[in-house]
Chains A and B, each alone.
Chain A
Amino acid sequence: MWTVFSASAIGKRNLEQGAAGQDASHCVVTDDVLVAIVCDGAGSVREGRTGSQFIARMLAEQLSSTLQAERNLPEVQAEGCARLETTIRSAIEAVRTRLADLAAAHQLTLHDFSCTLLGCVASPGGGCFFHIGDGFAIQQSAAGDSVLSLPENGEYADETYFVTDENWKDHLRLTPLLAPERGCVIGLMSDGTAPFAVNRARSGFFRPFIDPIAAYLRKATAPNGNEALRNLLESPRACEISADDKTLLLALVL
């Protein structure tokens, strides 16, 4: 059911300092259940890159296997995503604990691994976005309707919230999806990608950006599609718009 593409580009700011990219993404699809995660590691901490890679991979795998074991398929529910929420919260809790153990083994703390969390669980019946901090998640239906999870920033523009924060539960936000149908596009992106991928009203994708990409990806093989996305994110024009690391994960229902 799902065709997934993703790419990350290191932003100018990190390139100039010889630093590695702080973004990470991971995706697991099992029996039509999509679990996709994008994380953005904080540039200001020691191990932001390790944190984002660890959380993206471990959480996607943990959530996917829990959902399979519980047979807790994401479905459209009148009450929103209450049933999924418990599963998502305990998966985050478990992965945070493992990251805290890893940190302790290196005489570090969770704070040294600070990263944001942007995730999506979706199956033919529905699903939800789950989100801590900045970045955007967008579901665009074939008819053009959009469901969004918007960034949550602190008081100042460069302050955000992290899954590694003590009070992460206060900032975890869940957004129910529309039942994914043929032609729908789900996108998860870090804040470096948002200025050109999201429209001015922040109500959906910027259509002149996403439509040509979706049309191209519908016909692309995975390696080609991923490479094409990376070329786009690394293009001089994209780098001119944002100096941040850029990640874009797109899941299409063909």
Chain B
Amino acid sequence: MNTVIPDVALIDNSDERAPLVLVLDCSGSMQEENKIQLLNEGLKALAVDLKADPIAARCGRVLVISFGGDSNVEIMGDWTDAMDFAPPELRAGGLTPLGAAMRCALDEVESQKSQMRTAGVSYKRPIIMLLSDGEATDEWRQVAAECKSAETAHKVNIMAIGIGDEANKETLGLFSNKGALSLSGLKFKELFIWLSRSIRAVSRAPSGGTVQLNPVDSWAKLST
């Protein structure tokens, strides 16, 4: 009898996951200058670019949270592996409950981490990316402080990004120890490609280390 077992698939299933939460402003003002449409196109570029990289496609875990619209804060579907990520079609309307949206993101990150721990899946530090073009319309200070201390405790990495001149950079800056950045023009696509490349880098990084992300000059306005 031959002692080689035929047709056995030998694949590494043990990759560490790199969770990413996108917290996206879909308030009424996002209708102006076609911003919501550009944001949707950016999300599509993110999905394509993540899937183009085999490691990021396997390791990335994505969740989209929108705020504004009719139902204030909405979790758009479940956490999905990047390889299965189908971006939702976002619509603009309503207010800017930024605090509630970030509270939801923090909670989702912790519950996802605990689910992965239970399943014995290891993971990198999750990233929350907050994108907003306006002024928070709810109580946000307490949540912002919690975001900063979650960052200090190495629980999460938060990127706060303002869209356009109306975005309140001071408010956004209080959600992260790194302050806020501004999107240059409406370079959503460049931003999301950069984000995808960051997830690629994080997916490949040894656990416990810090990751050097690419420079942000493809999309960030560096003056101000």
Name A residues whose Cβ lies closer than 8 Å to a Cβ of B. 136, 150-151, 156-157, 194-196, 198-203, 206, 208-209, 212-213, 216, 220-221, 224, 227-229, 231-232, 235, 237-238, 241-242
Bitwise interface map of B from 3 to 22 toward A, beta carbon under 8 Å scored 1, else 0: 11111111111100000000
Residues of A near B58 (CB, < 8 A) are 200
Indicate if the CB atoms of A231 and B8 lie closer than 8 Å. no
Spot the interface stretch: B69-77, B104-112, B119-127, B197-205: B119-127
- Complex: A237 Cα to B11 Cα, angstroms: 8
Indicate if the CB atoms of A209 and B1 lie closer than 8 Å. no
Residues of B near A157 (CB, < 8 A) are 122, 207-208
- Complex: A224 Cα to B1 Cα, angstroms: 7
**Among B4, B6, B8, B13, contact of A200 (Cβ-Cβ < 8 Å):** B13
| Size category of the binding interface on chain B | 20 to 34
Indicate if the CB atoms of A196 and B11 lie closer than 8 Å. yes
**Among A201, A208, A213, contact of B5 (Cβ-Cβ < 8 Å):** A213
Indicate if the CB atoms of B12 and A212 lie closer than 8 Å. no
Indicate if the CB atoms of B119 and A206 lie closer than 8 Å. no
Indicate if the CB atoms of B6 and A216 lie closer than 8 Å. yes
Residues of B near A228 (CB, < 8 A) are 3-5
Indicate if the CB atoms of B1 and A241 lie closer than 8 Å. no
- Complex: A132 Cα to B122 Cα, angstroms: 19
Residue ID in chain A nearest B208 by CB atoms: A156
Question: In whole Å, how far is A26's beta carbon from the nearest beta carbon of chain B?
Answer: 22
- Complex: A231 Cα to B3 Cα, angstroms: 7
Residues of A near B121 (CB, < 8 A) are 201-202
